[in-house]
């Protein structure tokens, strides 16, 4: 979280405002009022666009005739101080990307229930009456998918009622929109209700960029980042580079927008988008539906991208109308035609300037693209469908498909579901039933109600499909399988989800999740085989005839606007009520108030020990597992019991094993807990892209709580690196990757230059003096860091939250 510089005017103002409890009283708007601001054709803009245009005018004044990408227009038009951010150490604004530290003022914050718990607990320590910007809470992560929507939702509410009561009471007290369990998955709900072109949002989930399909800049963050925005402090981001993806042609029959991002993920790998915004453009964009564009943006998280974005198209306009937001559509179009000056740059167009340059450029001809299947165990192992059978057999992956799962935040649109419906209806006419378990997850109550109205859900259920609750469910590990496959048994599932790390879906490290479009998943579920190709292969009907699936056909949106759904699942909005008491039981095992972390010592760190040296992929799932552990998201001591519990020990190859200095064997969290009790600070050594995956800030909070002061790796994932700094943990990378081999578990470590670097606002080099545990030999290892001035401030303070709480 941004350091509040009490020597600056803005810092003093924020501090005084917090002390006086006089931050602007901006009521959190409801979903519909916020995204349906009105304007007319007399040259008057709604407030949202008036602010955006004024900032945009400042950007044009500062940068002159410099050509801007769409992402830059929206991002830079949300700067707190345009000149300060764009002209500081940027060669007069010519070298902004990758260098400037942007201090941004987002329009709103959206939080899912698992991460909202810790975010709200942190917000509460600031003692403010309400957030400065609109916010929302979405109860989607805590419902286990198992037997069907009604039964699962009832069980989920009973199990998690304490957490839901806490979130609902916090929403009422602080004027935050509350979407109850069953209302839908955060990303789909945001797309339907809050996303409008030109907006900048933060979401406490890595797949928040889903809203980029509707021309927003939406960035996944940790809870501390969210709190920073909620209290009105500028949110800091290293100016991303821009990766342009030019689309040409048109998708063929069995190919969907999901295949665009599956293909791109294979080309770029899980690290290829780090430090970039992915911006799609070109004539092929006009052929895509709005939900298709959202799908591509959603899964951009899998390449490490800061966010992804599409221009505003006719499909965008149709979607706004279908979701009952005709005024928002008119406002966006009026805004594009609004000008207070002369020349083309006086207009804010929701597309890149002619002549705008990209740091990297990739071209994809949609006409030549074929369906892809990605996995297992990593989303960037991308295999064309035509080669998948051969690959399965060569790799000796399971040929039997145990389950097919469609829907989720990535692929639950009306278009996705009706295309799958056409496949199911064709199979039904042939007398064929799915050979594998078949699950369907609607993304929102609006989607569910509309699909029910139009008989699509009934088609799935008649075929034997299980319609799950409008929640994340199996996608994030909330899945109680009905086939009783023993843990440790290799098996294959196909899903239309976005992520497939080992053990993620069902807790079985041997379950192989292959990602594909919902159409491919549906067809292959009927075959029950991973080697089946629905484009070329046939199935045998009960009467012995040969059956081949027809080309999937669906509708971009319903013929009449989307249904709102059942009243019980609608948003609860209102002005803040200070008389509401936030529900936290002192004896709770689910929720616990936070204690501040200790400040950084007045010297370099010494006497640290390497808790564990990790090899291979170490995701946020590895550091802080989800699934059954989600119930402890609001209780830091309890959830810390899972810290790094699927990490692989580099020395022994064992999972979740660490050795104390006396050679005794422990689980990693057990040893971390013992070292915390002994007052032994520690660090972790790891490889590339440490913290890949979810925006889960618990992966930073838990190590910090247990005594971690440093994480040293070959490279970090963006969100996790930021989360570590927000919690007072110093992320360092090896200046020479081969130095990873020079440090081992149990080694003693002291920092050299770290304290001076922090006191100098991030300026200076840091090295590690390593004393080998076995020989006593001393090795000096040079490191790199990306600590900014503000980040140095909150590391010294112990955490970003400590700085914000100082104002009370």
What is the C-alpha to C-alpha distance for residues 463 and 459, in angstroms, rounded to an integer? 6
C-alpha distances out from residue 548 to 155, 438, 465, Å: 40, 19, 20
DSSP for 571-637? -B-----TTPPP---TT-SSB-PPPPPPPPPSS---SEEEEEEEES--BHHHHS--GGGGGGTB-HH
Pairing of strands 135-138, 708-713: unpaired
The neighbouring-strand residues paired with 539 are 547
- Is residue 408 annotated as part of the catalytic site, yes or no? no
Secondary structure percentages of the chain, helix, strand, coil, to 5: 35, 20, 45
What is the C-alpha to C-alpha distance for residues 606 and 11, in angstroms, rounded to an integer? 33
Let me know how long the chain is: 808
Q: Please report how many Cα atoms fall inside a 13 Å half-sphere around the Cα of residue 146, on the Cβ side.
A: 13
Active-site annotation holder among 80, 113, 177, 205: 205
- Is residue 108 annotated as part of the catalytic site, yes or no? no
Q: Return the structure tokens found at 10.
A: 């803005």
Q: 245-271 in b/e burial notation, b at 16+ Cβ within 10 A?
A: bbbeeebbebbbbbbbbbbbbbebbbb
What is the C-alpha to C-alpha distance for residues 1 and 15, in angstroms, rounded to an integer? 15
C-alpha distances out from residue 238 to 90, 275, 455, Å: 12, 8, 48
What is the C-alpha to C-alpha distance for residues 605 and 566, in angstroms, rounded to an integer? 56
The neighbouring-strand residues paired with 766 are 783
Q: Of 301, 143, 315, 199, nearest to 695 (Cα)?
A: 301
The neighbouring-strand residues paired with 279 are 244, 309
C-alpha distances out from residue 249 to 225, 354, 357, 419, 602, Å: 39, 20, 22, 21, 61
What is the C-alpha to C-alpha distance for residues 428 and 436, in angstroms, rounded to an integer? 15
Q: Which residues contact 492 (CB under 8 A, 6 or more apart)?
A: 376, 397, 398, 399, 400, 401, 402, 511, 512, 514, 530
83 DSSP assignment: H
Q: For residues 298 and 186, is the Cβ–Cβ distance under 8 A?
A: no
591 DSSP assignment: B
184 DSSP assignment: B
What is the C-alpha to C-alpha distance for residues 509 and 500, in angstroms, rounded to an integer? 11
C-alpha distances out from residue 591 to 582, 584, 631, Å: 11, 7, 9
- Is residue 696 annotated as part of the catalytic site, yes or no? yes
- Is residue 107 annotated as part of the catalytic site, yes or no? no
Pairing of strands 491-495, 511-515: parallel
- Is residue 437 annotated as part of the catalytic site, yes or no? no
Indicate left, alpha or beta for 663 from its phi (over 0: left) and psi (-120 to 50: alpha). left
Q: Which residue is associated with the tokens 């022994």?
A: 652
311 DSSP assignment: -
Q: For residues 434 and 464, is the Cβ–Cβ distance under 8 A?
A: yes
Instruction: Tell me the residue ranges of DSSP E strands in 276-389.
Output: 276-281, 307-309, 360-365, 372-374, 382-384
Active-site annotation holder among 136, 694, 788, 799: 694
What is the C-alpha to C-alpha distance for residues 612 and 428, in angstroms, rounded to an integer? 54
Pairing of strands 235-238, 307-309: unpaired
Q: For residues 674 and 660, is the Cβ–Cβ distance under 8 A?
A: yes
Q: Return the structure tokens found at 302.
A: 């899998």
Q: For residues 438 and 483, is the Cβ–Cβ distance under 8 A?
A: no
Active-site annotation holder among 97, 108, 325, 499: 499
- Is residue 499 annotated as part of the catalytic site, yes or no? yes
Active-site annotation holder among 80, 107, 113, 140: 140
Q: Return the structure tokens found at 235.
A: 């949110």
Q: For residues 171 and 392, is the Cβ–Cβ distance under 8 A?
A: no
Active-site annotation holder among 2, 635, 688, 696: 696
Q: For residues 4 and 804, is the Cβ–Cβ distance under 8 A?
A: yes
Q: Which residue is associated with the tokens 């579901």?
A: 417
3-state DSSP assignment of residue 168: helix
- The set of catalytic residues is 140-141, 205, 499, 694, 696
């Amino acid at each position: 979280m941004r350091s509040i510089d009490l020597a600056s005017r803005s810092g003093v103002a924020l501090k005084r405002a917090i002390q006086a409890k006089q931050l602007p009283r901006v009521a959190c708007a409801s979903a519909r009022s916020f995204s349906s601001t009105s304007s007319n054709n007399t040259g008057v803009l709604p407030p949202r666009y008036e602010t955006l245009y004024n900032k945009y005018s400042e950007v044009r004044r500062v940068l002159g005739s410099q050509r801007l990408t769409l992402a830059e227009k929206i991002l830079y038009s949300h700067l707190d101080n345009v000149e300060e951010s764009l002209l500081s150490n940027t060669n007069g604004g010519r070298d902004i990307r990758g260098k400037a530290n942007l201090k941004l003022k987002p329009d709103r914050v959206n939080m899912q229930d698992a991460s909202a718990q810790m975010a709200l607990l942190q917000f509460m320590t600031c003692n403010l009456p309400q957030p400065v910007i609109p916010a929302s809470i979405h109860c989607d992560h805590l419902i286990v998918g198992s037997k069907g929507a009604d039964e699962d939702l009832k069980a989920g509410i009973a199990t998690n009622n304490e957490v839901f009561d806490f979130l609902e009471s916090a929403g009422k007290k602080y004027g935050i929109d509350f979407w109850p369990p069953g209302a839908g998955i955060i990303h789909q709900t945001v797309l339907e209700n809050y996303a409008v072109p030109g907006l900048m949002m933060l979401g406490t989930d890595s797949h928040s960029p889903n809203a980029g399909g509707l021309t927003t800049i939406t960035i996944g963050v940790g809870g501390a980042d969210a709190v920073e925005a909620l209290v009105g402090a500028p949110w800091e981001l290293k100016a991303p580079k821009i990766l342009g993806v030019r689309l040409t042609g048109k998708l063929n029959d069995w190919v969907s927008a999901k295949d665009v991002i599956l293909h791109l993920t294979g080309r770029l790998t899980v690290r290829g988008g780090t430090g970039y915004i992915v911006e799609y453009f070109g004539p092929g964009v006009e052929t895509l539906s709005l939900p298709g564009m959202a799908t591509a943006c959603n899964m951009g998280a899998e390449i490490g991208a800061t966010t992804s974005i599409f221009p505003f198209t006719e499909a965008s306009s149709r979607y706004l109308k279908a979701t009952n937001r005709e005024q928002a559509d008119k406002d966006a179009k009026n805004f594009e035609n609004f000008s207070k000056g002369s020349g083309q740059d006086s207009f804010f167009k929701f597309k890149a300037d002619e002549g705008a340059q990209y740091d990297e450029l990739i071209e994809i001809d949609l006409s030549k693209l074929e369906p892809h299947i990605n996995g297992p165990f990593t989303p960037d192992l991308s295999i064309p469908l035509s080669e998948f059978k051969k690959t399965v057999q060569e790799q000796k992956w399971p040929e039997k498909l145990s389950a097919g799962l469609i829907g989720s935040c990535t692929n639950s649109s009306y278009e996705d579901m009706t295309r799958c419906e056409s496949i199911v209806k064709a199979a039904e006419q042939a007398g064929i039933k799915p050979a594998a378990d078949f699950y369907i997850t609607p993304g929102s109550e609006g989607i569910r109600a509309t699909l029910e109205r139009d008989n699509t859900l009934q088609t799935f259920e008649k075929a034997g499909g299980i319609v799950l609750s409008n929640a994340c469910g199996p996608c994030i590990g909330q899945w109680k399988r009905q086939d009783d496959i023993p843990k440790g048994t290799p098996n294959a599932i196909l899903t239309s989800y976005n992520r497939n790390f080992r053990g993620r879906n069902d807790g079985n490290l041997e379950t192989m999740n292959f990602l594909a479009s919902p159409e491919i998943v549906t067809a292959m579920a009927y075959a029950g085989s991973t080697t089946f190709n629905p484009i070329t292969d046939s199935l045998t009907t009960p009467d012995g005839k040969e059956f081949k699936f027809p080309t999937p056909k669906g509708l971009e949106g319903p013929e009449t606007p989307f249904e709102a759904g059942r009243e019980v699942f609608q948003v609860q909005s209102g002005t803040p009520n200070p008389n509401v008491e936030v529900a936290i039981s002192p004896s709770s095992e689910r929720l616990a108030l936070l204690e501040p972390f200790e400040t950084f010592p007045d010297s370099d760190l010494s006497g640290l020990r390497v808790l564990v040296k990790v090899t291979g992929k170490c995701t946020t799932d590895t550091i802080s597992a989800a699934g059954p552990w989600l119930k402890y998201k609001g209780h830091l001591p309890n959830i810390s019991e899972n810290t790094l519990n699927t990490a692989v020990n580099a020395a022994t190859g064992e999972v979740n094993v660490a050795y104390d200095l006396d050679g005794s064997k422990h689980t990693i969290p057990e040893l971390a807990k013992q070292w915390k009790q002994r007052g032994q600070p520690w660090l972790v050594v790891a490889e590339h892209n440490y913290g890949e995956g979810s925006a889960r800030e618990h992966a930073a909070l838990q190590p910090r709580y247990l005594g971690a002061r440093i994480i040293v790796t070959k490279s970090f994932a963006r969100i996790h690196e930021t989360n570590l700094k927000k919690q007072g943990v110093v992320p360092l990378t090896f200046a020479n990757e081969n130095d990873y081999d020079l440090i081992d578990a149990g080694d003693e470590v002291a920092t050299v230059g770290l304290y001076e670097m922090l006191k100098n606002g991030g300026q200076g080099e840091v090295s590690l003096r390593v004393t080998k545990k076995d020989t006593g030999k001393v090795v000096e290892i040079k490191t790199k860091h990306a600590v900014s001035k503000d980040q140095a401030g909150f590391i010294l303070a112990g955490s970003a939250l400590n700085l914000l709480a100082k104002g009370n």
